[in-house]
Structure 1
């Protein structure tokens, strides 16, 4: 079963770091690679979706 992402963030890089925003909602920092053919990736800890700017508006 797939859950919907909590938040979508538009980024300019294909390799990004996610720490869940810190505080009580944070998690260990992980580095995520956005596949250049897909344009987005979801953090396995917090379900935040990172979309590369080149794919903005094309990802549901």
Structure 2
């Protein structure tokens, strides 16, 4: 059995919330994208949030 890669989302905000989406999500967490990195991963669902400025590079 193989597992699918975590989702990657391009966002326009530096501070975002993740709740895993759907009925079987996880508790809502607020994540801060560091401008040096340009991305952050959710500690629950491993979804990667990439800021649009970093994605353009």
Superposed pair shares fold, TM > 0.5: yes
Structure with larger Rg: 2
Band of TM-score, shorter chain: 0.7 to 0.9
| Aligned positions, number | 53
**CA shift for structure 1 position 41:** 0.1
| Structure 1: runs of 5+ lacking an equivalent | none
> Does 2:49 match 1:50?
yes
| Structure 2: runs of 5+ lacking an equivalent | none
TM (norm. structure 2) is 0.86
How far apart, in 2, do the equivalents of 1:10 and 1:40 lie? 9
**CA shift for structure 1 position 22:** 2.6
